[in-house]
Amino acid sequence: MTKQIKVCSVEDLPPGTVTGAGPYAVGNIDGEYFAVTRRCRHLRADLAGGSIENGRLVCPWHQAAYDVQSGHMVRGPQQIFAKIPGLGTVFTTLTKLWPLGRGRVTFSGDDIVVE
């Protein structure tokens, strides 16, 4: 049997928001819900504290961005880290080999559930 984690009610996760549920960062991109593992591949920031930008999950610490469908980093760490030659490429390549894990989002009545 697959373990189910109740996230919250649908009304508590409006479009453009992200929350944490167990090992997952769960978000709503224009009515499409996603669940990915919570730790950024860069410095392990909690992605549940991240934001949604252009349909991507953005790390709250250094603004690395993830494609939530594949789990791949599509923009490497920003700020001072963006000035280190090749660092963004290293991390985006790393997530091709080791993407964020993904959970399956389902619903139970008005509640969002991750399996």
Q: What is the share, in percent, of the chain residues with pLDDT greater than 90?
A: 82
Q: Could you report the per-residue pLDDT of 7-66, keeping only the tens digit for each?
A: 999 999 999 999 999 999 999 999 999 999 999 999 999 999 999 999 999 999 999 999
Model pLDDT, residue 112? 98
Domains and CATH numbers, the chain: 5-110 (2.102.10.10)
- The confidence band for 88, taking pLDDT boundaries of 50, 70 and 90, is confident
Model pLDDT, residue 1? 54
- Give 3-state DSSP helix, strand, coil % of the chain, rounded to 5: 20, 40, 45
Residue 113: which H helix or E strand, with range?
strand 111-114
